[in-house]
Amino acid sequence: RKISRSVNNGFMNRSVGKMSTVLENTIRITFVDREGNRATVPARVGKTLLETAQLHKVDLEGPCGGGGGFPDVQRTAAWNETTYGEGPNCFICHVQIPSTFNHLLPRMTDHEIDGLKRSWEEEYSRTSRLACQITLEKKHEGLVVFVPDAPPVDMM
């Protein structure tokens, strides 16, 4: 006869699930500046690319911090819900992510595309993204992020 045990967690007898560790929620991201200097840093799953860059002193500004939430949320391949959030409003945290990572990134909203095109003009490319709009997940392990020059001071 087999006897099973459970752990008393102070409330009731329950089986305790495995808790995740910091290591399990940490990935590595590589930032490359305009001169080609590379910095591979640890990044916490659930943080944005902008938060990670600022934590590690990467020269990337983001005064609006991503605005007031996402204006659109992609619910399924066919359904894009407008959530009426403000979304980003400064478009300063421009980064470029190689197209080989496109399948790992969230879909860009029209608001993000228009703002990047208006703010960055000739520096905008199909690899342009806003760092505040990319929330890191385990699948982003090894992501490479190029940080271009900041816009002119009179734009801020």
User: What DSSP string runs through the chain?
Assistant: ------EE-SSSEEPPPPPPPTGGGEEEEEEE-TT--EEEEEEETTSBHHHHHHHTT-S---TTTT-SS-SEEE-SSS-EEE-------S---EEE--GGGGGGSPPPPHHHHHHHHHHHGGG--TTEEEGGG-B--GGGTT-EEE--PPPPGGG-
Quote the pLDDT of residue 64. Answer: 78
Average pLDDT over residues 17-22: 68
Does residue 70 surpass a pLDDT of 90?
A: no
**In the prediction, which pLDDT does 56 show?**
96
What pLDDT does residue 7 have? 47
pLDDT tens digit sequence for 81-132? 776 666 677 889 999 999 999 999 988 888 889 999 999 988 999 999 999 9
pLDDT at 4: 46
- Higher-pLDDT residue of 2, 117: 117
Among 38-42, 49-53, 64-68, 100-104, the minimum mean pLDDT is found in 64-68
Q: Taking all residues of the chain, what is their mean pLDDT, rounded to a whole number?
A: 82
pTM of the model: 0.74
pLDDT at 76: 82
Average pLDDT over residues 44-57: 94
pLDDT at residue 10 greater than cutoff 90: no
